[in-house]
Amino acid sequence: MKIKNILLVSPMFRELQALIEKDIPDKTFRFMPEEELSQEDLSWADALVSFNLKAEYDYSSVKWVHSLGAGVDRFLHKKDWNQEILLTRTICSFGQRIAEYCLSYILKDLQLHDRFKEQQQQKNWVQSTPKLITEQKVLVYGTGEIGQTIAKVFSGLGVDVYGVSLSGKEKAGFKEVMTVNSHFSVLKEMNYVINTLPLTERTEKLFDGAIFKQLSNAGFINVGRGASIDEEALLLALNDNTVSFAVLDVFDQEPLPKNNPLWDHPRVQITPHISAVTTPSEGAACFLETLKNIDENRPLKNIVDTKKGY
């Protein structure tokens, strides 16, 4: 595959331009924000580098699309993808960032931060014993690179980590991996549930009442995709205490509309899709490595199976 003209569309296009353009003088680039993007730019380009474009575009003239994020559902979900177009994604520190994000909220819960903060405000001295993380069971939906990193970090702290995947194939760091259809019997045992799954037809609205009703006062963390969650079912589960709290970093609609009831629920923590932000340096490094591998016809470790959606 010969790549000459490269179109990079991103809010951080200036930072990426400074990191990329000087290193590959044999390519022609256009760097821009999405509001300046035109179909003429896409017709000019051999490759598109971007993430989470808001409008719909015709990619049929490009040879390669590279996602600056780990997710690719914006390009694939409910769309017909031309199988002749190569699709790759960014691989960097996402797994470690997400593992630390999840760990911070679980430790906050175990160490009773909210309770002690409330007592401090009331000047109320009442002792309660924090729980040990080694006594917890965590269920991670998705056993890919991010899920495996979470399992490695948590199991290293003595946590029993269980996994759910479409295949049920065993992976390092997990005590047991089950399929989506075979894991319901363990849900009541879980203290925390973490979703890292990509958005596909099989994972859309996966977390509904059928799953939430099986939990027993468990904490729920979503760092996968917002459209995997039935928000009404989650709110019911919070009110019924089958879910003790929810930490939500991703949503079906972003930014989350101001009239969404999740904003006001006392046991919901909302963050603005920051659990695994692509930094300019990491985004540039992965793109440059992928481009070099394409130019030299080397295997790509970050190629997307467009039929599976990840």
Q: What is the CATH number of the domain that holds 60?
A: 3.40.50.720
Encode pLDDT of 193-236 as tens digits: 999 999 999 999 999 999 999 999 999 999 999 999 999 999 99
Whether residue 199 contacts residue 77, with contact meaning beta carbons closer than 8 Å, is answered with: yes
Torsions phi, psi for 255 (to 5 deg) = -60, 155
Same domain, 55 and 104: no
Encode pLDDT of 230-289 as tens digits: 999 999 999 999 999 999 999 999 999 999 999 999 999 999 999 999 999 999 999 999
What's the whole-model pTM score? 0.93
Residue ranges in the chain assigned as alpha helix (H): 13-20, 39-44, 73-76, 94-110, 113-121, 145-156, 209-212, 231-240, 280-295
Residue 303 falls within a domain, yes or no?
Answer: no
Of 80, 79, 42, 36, nearest in space to 64 by CA: 42
pLDDT of 281: 96
pLDDT of 24: 86
Residue 309 falls within a domain, yes or no?
Answer: no
Residue 301 falls within a domain, yes or no?
Answer: no
Same domain, 50 and 121: no
Full residue range of the structural domain in which residue 114 is found: 94-270
Residue 191 falls within a domain, yes or no?
Answer: yes
Tokens matching residue 219: 């904490």
Residue 304 falls within a domain, yes or no?
Answer: no
Q: How many domains does the chain have?
A: 2
Mean pLDDT over 161-187 rounds to 96
